[in-house]
Amino acid sequence: MSRIFSRRKILGAAALGAAGMVFGRKLLSEAGEGISKWNAGGVGSNELPASTEIVNAGKLKQSFEELGQYVYLTPQKLGGGTHAVDLNSGRTLAWISYWNYGDSCPISHHLAAYPSPDPYKGFEFINSTQGGDNVMIYGLPTRIKERGMLGKWGMGNHIYRVQFDGQSMNLMEDVAETTGIGLGVHTTIYPDASGFAGADGQKDVCAFFNRAVGSEKTQVQMAFRADWIGATANGGMEENWSKGGKIRLTRLNAAKETGKYDLEGTKGNKIDWEMVPMAEYLVYTGQLPGDSPKTLTGLDAVVHHPGGRYSALIIRMLSCAIIVDRHNWEPVCCLHCPEGSPGNLPIAKVSSGPDTWEIKLDDVKCVGHEAGFSPDGKSFLMMNNIKQNNMAVFDTADADPRNWKKITFVKDPTWSGDYPSPFHLCFSVDGSKMFVSVLYPKPANSGCCVVDTKTWKIIKKFQNIGPDCQTMAVTYDGKYVFQIFSGFQRLSSGAFIFTQDTLEPIGYLPNFGGHHDCVIVPTKAEQLKNSRCTTL
């Protein structure tokens, strides 16, 4: 371990932090204020508790043990398909490759699975894919474009609905083709499993869909597009965002003639390829081509409050989340995450034809990324990245999102500069812990950490897991946590496993390379609170 990361230094710093915290508590207590008010100032200590344990996962050997009767679903990204693995035996139950269905550039990106009483007998999942120029940002000396494979059938942004029938996977529907809305990034199932949401940060579009079963066709319930109107639109690229401006949220409508939207394939793209982590820099410097990068908000994902009514539209370029009421499909408020920014911004409706709302941001202190709600719905967290490297914590216990408050930040003394940065998150089944992947640039190995959800302090770190740690998943019996790493599409990949309760490392689960997301198929809707529904 390098000296900067030595246990002694970290523990020493943590001890100082803990002492400072105790001293601070005492002062505030004497002033008649509680810890909640102290945190309400928006400042979380970046020191680790003295008891924080650090594990070097690189010391572990490859291993596999019976992990329970669960089906583990992983999209391959550049591999072009998805695998379903039986965690009880280590066998792959079935897999699908979208090349075989005429998709000439399927980048199997993110997915979410509907609950099934017996996933071994069948389940359905929603799998977004990218395509188009996204294949050209990984350093592949490819001729795919030269050979015309990125044309009509290789643009990506498909939303595949796939059924596992107990034996094989069957492509049931391309929701993008059915509805005319092609979205290539995050997909999240509603907490009651009655539908799903998808989003795409290249288009700044998110959409909500009902749940189709079998041969039924999916229908759009609602779709929004977000646009950024910089206060200094004629200034430099970075100032276009940093100096503030307005988010304009517009309700999208299907064409009356076709009943469909006109957002298939690359249509609607503001930038030519996705903002992988840190690619916001390329937007700032004008090095990312596209039709309209200056209006980019980076509406990349939707996560759902487990209460079932509200959803959060995750806006990366501005590090905020627009809360939408799914009962009336009206935006309610906007949670602004950077430290030093107001936490809850109002939304004003400015037009009804089409419905349009605006949110004014005085400044944008940093970009954001992944986000999620705790299983009990009382907390919302979102990553602040690049200029700030922390996680904003909102108290979302109030029934009215307009009263949701930013209370503190999860910090780490090593989260400085652009890397390492907190990335994806999920929660233990009992909600007592939050698990966060921590991204390092290649060729370094990434890791993950465990946060106590009472104190929002990091209590354990698993370092040196593998390159490019992505999403995380938990088994619903409360036993295991899966941290998938996809190796920047071409380096080593796998899934690191540790226990939810004792936080003991178990080992690695092999995968077939490049898996970018991981979901454990729920067996009942209740488990969606810990699945690809509430968190990313």
Partner 1 sequence: MLSVISATKSYGGERSVDAVKNVSFELEQGKSLAIVGRSGSGKSTLLGMIGGISRPTAGQVLIDGINQWGLSDNERAELRNQKLGFVFQFASLLPSLRAIDNVALPCLISGKLSGSEIYARARALLDRVGLSHRADAYPGQLSGGEQRRVAIARALVNSPSLLLADEPTADLDEITEGEILSLLLDIHRALNITLVVVTHNPEIAARADSVIEMRSGEAAAKELVVKEPAAPSNTGTPHDASVEEAARSIFEISPQQASTHKVRLGEGLERFLGRFVMWLVPTCLIAWGINWAAEKYEADVIEAKAQQRLALEELGMQGLRADVKSVEFGSGKTYVVTIYLRNTRGDDPLYVMSPTFRTFVQVATSWLEIPTKPIKTGSGQVLKITGTQLLTYEIEPDVPNFTQLLPYYMHVRFTNDMLISPRSQPKDDLIERNDSYYVYLKPHDADDKAILSKMKFPEKPPVWIPMPPH
Q: Which residues pair with 351 in a beta bridge?
A: 356
Q: Does residue number 227 form part of the binding site for partner 1 (CB under 8 A)?
A: no
Q: Does residue number 272 form part of the binding site for partner 1 (CB under 8 A)?
A: yes
- Site track 369-408 with partner 1 (rule: CB under 8 A), x = hit: ----------------------------------------
Of 226, 264, 191, 260, the closest CA to residue 527 belongs to 191
How buried is 50 (Cβ within 10 angstroms: 0-12 exposed, 13-18 middle, 19+ buried)?
A: middle
Q: Does residue number 288 form part of the binding site for partner 1 (CB under 8 A)?
A: yes
Q: Does residue number 13 form part of the binding site for partner 1 (CB under 8 A)?
A: no
* Shortest Å distance, C-beta 104 to partner 1: 16
Which whole-number Å values give the CA distances from 535 to 190, 308, 349, 434, in the listed order?
Answer: 11, 14, 28, 11
Q: Does residue number 16 form part of the binding site for partner 1 (CB under 8 A)?
A: no
* Shortest Å distance, C-beta 185 to partner 1: 14
Stretch 446-485 residues interacting with partner 1 (CB under 8 A): 463-464, 468
Q: Does residue number 237 form part of the binding site for partner 1 (CB under 8 A)?
A: yes
Q: Does residue number 48 form part of the binding site for partner 1 (CB under 8 A)?
A: no
How far is Cα 298 from Cα 369, in angstroms, rounded to an integer?
9
Q: Which of 30, 352, 443, 454 binds partner 1 (CB under 8 A)?
A: 443
Q: Which of 7, 91, 442, 524 binds partner 1 (CB under 8 A)?
A: 442
* Shortest Å distance, C-beta 60 to partner 1: 11
How far is Cα 170 from Cα 14, in angstroms, rounded to an integer?
52
Nearer Cβ to partner 1, position 95 or 281? Answer: 281
Q: Which of 289, 340, 346, 354 binds partner 1 (CB under 8 A)?
A: 289
**Are the C-beta atoms of 476 and 522 separated by less than 8 Å?**
yes
Q: Which of 440, 462, 496, 498 binds partner 1 (CB under 8 A)?
A: 440
Q: Does residue number 62 form part of the binding site for partner 1 (CB under 8 A)?
A: no
Q: Does residue number 492 form part of the binding site for partner 1 (CB under 8 A)?
A: no
Q: Does residue number 445 form part of the binding site for partner 1 (CB under 8 A)?
A: yes
Q: Which residues pair with 18 in a beta bridge?
A: none
Q: How many residues belong to the site for partner 1 (CB under 8 A)?
A: 49
Nearer Cβ to partner 1, position 56 or 356? Answer: 56
**In 467-524, beta strands by DSSP E:** 469-474, 480-485, 494-499, 505-509, 519-520
- Strand (E) or helix (H) holding 348: strand 348-352
Q: Which of 15, 21, 50, 136 binds partner 1 (CB under 8 A)?
A: 136
* Shortest Å distance, C-beta 56 to partner 1: 6
Nearer Cβ to partner 1, position 145 or 360? Answer: 145
* Shortest Å distance, C-beta 373 to partner 1: 26
Of 113, 342, 362, the closest CA to residue 241 belongs to 362
Instruction: Give residue 380's identity as a one-letter amino acid code.
Output: F
How far is Cα 199 from Cα 403, in angstroms, rounded to an integer?
26
Q: Does residue number 137 form part of the binding site for partner 1 (CB under 8 A)?
A: yes
**In 165-214, beta strands by DSSP E:** 169-174, 187-189, 195-200, 205-210
Which whole-number Å values give the CA distances from 247 to 114, 310, 343, 516, in the listed order?
Answer: 32, 19, 15, 30
Q: Does residue number 141 form part of the binding site for partner 1 (CB under 8 A)?
A: yes
**Are the C-beta atoms of 77 and 515 separated by less than 8 Å?**
yes
Nearer Cβ to partner 1, position 177 or 238? Answer: 238
- Site track 408-427 with partner 1 (rule: CB under 8 A), x = hit: ---------x-xx-------
Q: Which of 40, 171, 276, 503 binds partner 1 (CB under 8 A)?
A: 276
For 172, list phi and psi in degrees, rounded to 5: -90, -35
Q: Does residue number 138 form part of the binding site for partner 1 (CB under 8 A)?
A: yes
Stretch 114-133 residues interacting with partner 1 (CB under 8 A): 133
* Shortest Å distance, C-beta 458 to partner 1: 17
Q: ∠416-435-495 over CA atoms, to 5°?
A: 100
Three-state SS across 392-452? EEEECCCCCHHHCEEEEEECCCCCCCCCCEEEEEEECCCCCEEEEEEECCCCCCEEEEEEE
Q: Which of 224, 462, 488, 508 binds partner 1 (CB under 8 A)?
A: 488
Nearer Cβ to partner 1, position 196 or 415? Answer: 415
State the CB neighbour count (10 A cutoff) for residue 108. Answer: 29
Q: Does residue number 28 form part of the binding site for partner 1 (CB under 8 A)?
A: no
Q: Which of 65, 291, 398, 501 binds partner 1 (CB under 8 A)?
A: 291
Q: Does residue number 281 form part of the binding site for partner 1 (CB under 8 A)?
A: yes
Q: Does residue number 79 form part of the binding site for partner 1 (CB under 8 A)?
A: no
How far is Cα 424 from Cα 406, in angstroms, rounded to an integer?
19
Stretch that binds partner 1, among 1-9, 205-213, 215-223, 371-379 (CB under 8 A): 1-9
Of 444, 438, 386, the closest CA to residue 412 belongs to 438
Of 516, 441, 510, the closest CA to residue 472 belongs to 516
Nearer Cβ to partner 1, position 59 or 454? Answer: 59
**Interface positions with partner 1 (CB under 8 A):** 1-5, 56, 58-59, 133, 136-139, 141-143, 145-146, 237, 272, 276-279, 281-282, 285-294, 417, 419-420, 440-445, 463-464, 468, 488
